[in-house]
Amino acid sequence: MRIKLTKKPKNCRLIEGFPGFGLVGTIANEFLLEHLKFEQIGKILFDDMPATVAIHEGKVVEPLGIFHNKKYNLVLLHAITASTGMEWKLSNIVIELSKQLGIKEIICLEGVGSSDETVTSRVFFYSNNEQNKSKFKKLKIDLLKEGIIIGVTGAILLRAETIPVSCVFAETHSSLPDSKAASKVIEVLDKYLGLKVDTKPLLLQAEKFEDKLKGLLTESQKAQQLSEKKKLSYVG
């Protein structure tokens, strides 16, 4: 795994959102990439991850692309590849990228599972830096006091050491893509960084997308139940 950069902006914040529960971080990153002016400045090259590539609007999307927003001096690590089994290597590459660019803060965007579907998604934060922790508290975001952080974000927290790391978590009630939870993450990030991002387009897309998924799931469940009934009818 190696980093290839065409530009090296300095003193930035780095935002990462590897695919996880509800794809919250991935959706949030995608939304930021589309609604803020980011320029691709590099990519992470690897030989030991699945050979997967996405095509979007007729163009190849890098599995691990590195983008920069000049206005807010943000670096965004755009990941569309599964990270299972590669967490330590990916965390090391994020740390290495942070050192090369003199990153002043790594911001991790994540979804966390919740079994209570009657409650609106809550948002929590964690930070290993007291100054950044105070900023979140002033925004009246709840500190994650108890929990288990897994995946690339968990590995980054253990490996970052001297680099400030802040995490924004949104509860999600489903393993399906949860755009509503992602919008909660963006709202917090917007306040924290002063991005002035309108999340309404994401919410409008979310309702259509999630209604479609729910419909497909319902039909799939009906088909499965019908299939089971047919199997049972042949027994005896």
Query: Average of pLDDT values for 51-74?
Result: 84
Could you tell me the two tokens for 225?
């139940």
- Does 157 score more than 80 pLDDT? yes
Could you tell me the two tokens for 64?
């691990």
Q: Which stretch of 164-168, 194-198, 222-226 has the lowest confidence by average pLDDT?
A: 222-226
| Report for 82-91, 126-135, 209-218: range of highest mean pLDDT | 126-135
Q: What is the dihedral of CA 19, 118, 202, 74, to 10 degrees?
A: -50
Q: Which of 189, 182, 173, 174 is nearest to 205 (CA)?
A: 182
pLDDT of residue 18: 87
- Residue 139 neighbours by CB under 8 Å, 6+ apart: 188, 191, 192
Q: Which stretch of 169-178, 199-208, 209-218 has the lowest confidence by average pLDDT?
A: 209-218
Report d(CA 181, CA 199) in Å as an integer. Answer: 11
pLDDT grade, residue 85 (50/70/90)? Answer: confident
Collect contacts of 200-204 with beta carbons under 8 A, ≥24 apart. 201/35, 202/27, 202/31, 203/179
Report d(CA 139, CA 21) in Å as an integer. Answer: 25
Q: Where are the domains of the chain?
A: 2-199
- Does 234 score more than 80 pLDDT? no
Please state, rounded to an integer, the average pLDDT across all residues of the chain. 83
Helices 200-233 and 24-35: angle between axes, nearest 10 degrees: 140
Compare 211 and 100 and report the one with higher pLDDT: 100
Report d(CA 107, CA 14) in Å as an integer. Answer: 6
Report d(CA 92, CA 191) in Å as an integer. Answer: 29
- Does 101 score more than 90 pLDDT? yes
- Does 95 score more than 50 pLDDT? yes
pLDDT of residue 67: 97
- Counting Cα atoms < 13 Å in the Cβ hemisphere of 119 gives 10
Compare 154 and 203 and report the one with higher pLDDT: 154
Is 2-199 a domain of CATH 3.40.50.10900? yes
What predicted TM-score, i.e. pTM, was given to this entire model? 0.83
Compare 71 and 150 and report the one with higher pLDDT: 71
Quick: pLDDT tens for 14-57: 999 988 888 888 888 888 988 898 999 999 998 876 666 677 67
Query: Average of pLDDT values for 173-186?
Result: 83
- Please report, rounded to a whole number, the percentage of residues in the chain having pLDDT higher than 70: 81
- Terminal CA-to-CA distance of the chain, rounded, Å? 58
